[in-house]
Amino acid sequence: MTQVDAVRLANQATFGPSESLVAQLRERGAAGWIADQMSEPRQGIRTIPSGVRGVITVQHPRSRYTSGGSNAVHKHTSQSVDFCDTRGDQCWRDWYSSTPLVWDFYRHAVTGRDQLRQRVGLALQQMLVVSNYEVSGTYGLRNYHNMLLDHAFGNYRDLLRKVILSPVMGDYLDHVNNDKDAPNENFARELLQLFSLGTCLLNPDGSLQGGNCTPTYDNERVRAYAHALTGWTYPPGGATPWGCWPRGANCQFYDGDMVSVASFHNTAARSLLSGVSLASGNTAPVALEAVLDSIMAHQNVAPFVSRHLIQQLVTSNPSPAYVQRVAGAFNTGRHGSFGTGRKGDLAATVAAVLLDAEARSTTVASSAGRLREPIQLFTGVLRALNGRTDGEALGWWWGEDMRQHAFRPPSVFNFYPPEYPVAGTALVGPAFGIHNANTALNRINYLNYLIFWNGSGPSASVPGAVGTRVELSGFESDAGDAARLVDRLSLLALGEPLPAGSRTAVITAVNAFPSRTTSDRTNRVRQAAFLVFASPQYHLVR
């Protein structure tokens, strides 16, 4: 691989390039590296004790969410003592909030080896949305997001089944313990609209069938899905001081999948999409499989899911041909050597997204690329500049300032809409939905915080705290030669030198600092890093 393509793949499939990752990508190539990332255990090329370069098997543990409290929050039965009375000042944070997930997410995103799984997990969590705005219970949020990581290279049908049966989703979109005769339609509607099919009938290339929006479903069909998905309650294990409600249901509990209760399920015959129907007298498990059959057989599911993954990983405006090629991999379950041959295979789909000519071409179309969203800005600079983080500064501080506080999207529609228009163009730019004058300035403020303010130190209240800081000493060997330093940072951040005019201006700014002392050299590195990572070429990933 060339330097520019290695950096491009790192931006598409990881949380940002580092010098060691770019070297690894150039050695393994795109397909080889993706295969390594998808395999368990992974294959690595290393020098064995005899001094010979060879392929050896290296077990790299998957990143997992592990921080925060247990399911005890949903087993508390005292009527006189509040759950948090004996658990200190950080009880809500540690037992009810998503903050411990933020810690784990950023630690793993910056230093974890399973970068592709984590990036696909982020793409899935921005489609199959739950939010700590509406759902409390750290252990439940932890379970849900570990499930997304577990299924990142699995099958979309299996993933949807787990989402439907998740008690966290059951609470978030109101279908746990649903009334069988007058069910809440919230989940059924979002299952169709946001999680699988979209609102308009699509061609295989993602374009509108007939050139206009023909509705995928109507309100009657939504009601049919809502009735079909009745009959589920929390998994057993929860308890409250007042018992469980309604009668026959389990108490609120988030460990495990929801379980069926026959008396809660509407057994009437129903007509679903894709010609799938339910006979009278059906059970909740049978109805669930029929719902999945109807979604996976629908013409929309492949282009809908494929376009979302392309937008999240590669480009906001994929060509119809690109969408159709990826949708083909979704439908056949194969892309070259990737996949099982079963429709909905996400390993095949992700490989098709990343290995497509539009992702790997050295000639980039004028409509290609995407705005680097805040989460990927946070991690990208830290990874490039040998940084470390415990995530504490990236949630309630920088996450809120940049309108992308991980695990707390404001609604089921995520942080931003996928069709957000780029002003003055015919293009869409989803991440521009949270980009305004304030967040644009905060991007620069974040760089200033990391590079000139030395980030932030560890907090005594955060387990295993390390703070959030970059380490610039590795670049000081080039600080005496401003051009070499600027080019080294540019090749890492962009894959190529800055445009000539910008390069000259940055070199001049670096040369404004002397290079006699260690402090001088540090200041030169800071100046170069700040200006390279503040460049528009870094924030617009192409």
Which DSSP state fits 455? -
Residues 6+ apart with CB under 8 A from 198: 216, 300, 304
Sketch the domain layout of the chain as residue ranges.
157-202+212-299, 300-366, 472-541
- The answer to whether the CB of 515 falls within 8 A of the CB of 524 is yes
Residue range 73-122, pLDDT digits in tens: 999 999 999 999 999 999 999 999 999 999 999 999 999 999 999 999 99
Mean pLDDT for 517-537 is 97
Band of the pLDDT at 362, cuts 50, 70, 90?
confident
The 10s digit of each residue's pLDDT in 393-408 is 999 999 999 999 999 9
138 in Cβ contact with 94 (< 8 Å): yes
Q: What is the mean pLDDT of residues 321-333?
A: 98
Contact at 8 Å (CB) between 468 and 450? yes
User: The tokens of 362 are what?
Assistant: 């050295």
Q: What six digits make up the tokens of 115? A: 């970068």
The per-residue pLDDT for range 205-232, each reduced to its tens digit, is: 999 999 999 999 999 999 999 999 999 9
Contacts of 289 (CB under 8 A, 6+ apart): none
Query: Judging by beta carbons within 10 Å of its beta carbon (0-12, 13-18, 19+), is residue 212 exposed, middle or buried?
Result: exposed
pLDDT at 47: 55
What is the pLDDT averaged over residues 513-523? 96
Q: Which residues of 427-438 are buried (b: 16+ CB within 10 A; e: fewer)?
A: bbbbbbbbbeee
Interior CA angle at 371 toward 109 and 37, to 5°?
35
| Sign of the dihedral defined by the CA atoms of residues 24, 28, 30, 31, in that order | negative
Summarize the confidence of residues 514-530 as an average pLDDT. 97
| Token digits of residue 420 | 């957000």
Say how many CA atoms lie within 13 Å of 205 toward its Cβ.
9
User: From CA 195, how far away is CA 91, in angstroms rounded?
Assistant: 33
- Rounded to 5 degrees, φ, ψ at 541 are -80, 120
The predicted structure's pLDDT at residue 364 = 87
Longest dimension (CA), the chain: 84
pLDDT value at 282 more than 70: yes
In this predicted model, what pLDDT tens digit does every residue of 407-444 receive, in sequence order?
A: 999 999 999 999 999 999 999 999 999 999 999 999 99
Phi-psi region of 534 (alpha: psi -120 to 50; beta: other; left: phi over 0): alpha
**pLDDT of residue 513 exceeding 70:** yes
> What is the mean predicted confidence (pLDDT) over 326-336?
98
- Mapped onto helix, strand or coil, the DSSP state of residue 438 is helix
- Cα 200 off chain centre by: 25
Alpha carbons 454 and 470: distance in angstroms, whole number: 7
Rounded to whole angstroms, the Cα distance separating 236 from 187 reads 22
- Cα(207)–Cα(87) distance, integer angstroms: 54
Task: Return the closest-CA partner of residue 468 out of 379, 391, 377, 386.
Answer: 391
Q: Cα–Cα distance between 344 and 332 in angstroms, integer? A: 8
Pairwise CA distance, residues 327 & 306, whole Å:
6
Could you write out the DSSP letters of every residue in 158-211?
HHHHHHHH-HHHHHHTT-TT--SSS---HHHHHHHHTTTS-SB-B-TTSSBGGG
Cβ count near 487 (within 10 Å): 20
d(CA 497, CA 492): 9
Residue range 371-389, pLDDT digits in tens = 999 999 999 999 999 999 9
Q: For the chain, what percent of residues have pLDDT higher than 70?
A: 96
pLDDT tens digits, 6-61: 999 999 999 999 999 999 999 999 999 999 999 955 444 555 556 666 665 666 67
pLDDT at res. 43: 44
**pLDDT tens figures, 132-183:** 999 999 999 999 999 999 999 999 999 999 999 999 999 999 999 999 999 9
φ/ψ (deg, to 5) at 513? -95, 140
Reported pTM: 0.95
Distance CA 54, CA 46 (A): 6
- pLDDT digits 0-9 by tens, 38-52: 995 544 455 555 666
Which pLDDT score, from 0 to 100, does residue 46 have? 56
pLDDT at residue 256 tops 50: yes
Is residue 456's pLDDT more than 60?
yes
Q: At what angle do helices 115-125 and 301-313 cross, to 10 degrees?
A: 120
Q: How far apart are CA 144 and CA 159, in angstroms?
A: 11
Q: What integer is the mean pLDDT of 328-352? A: 98
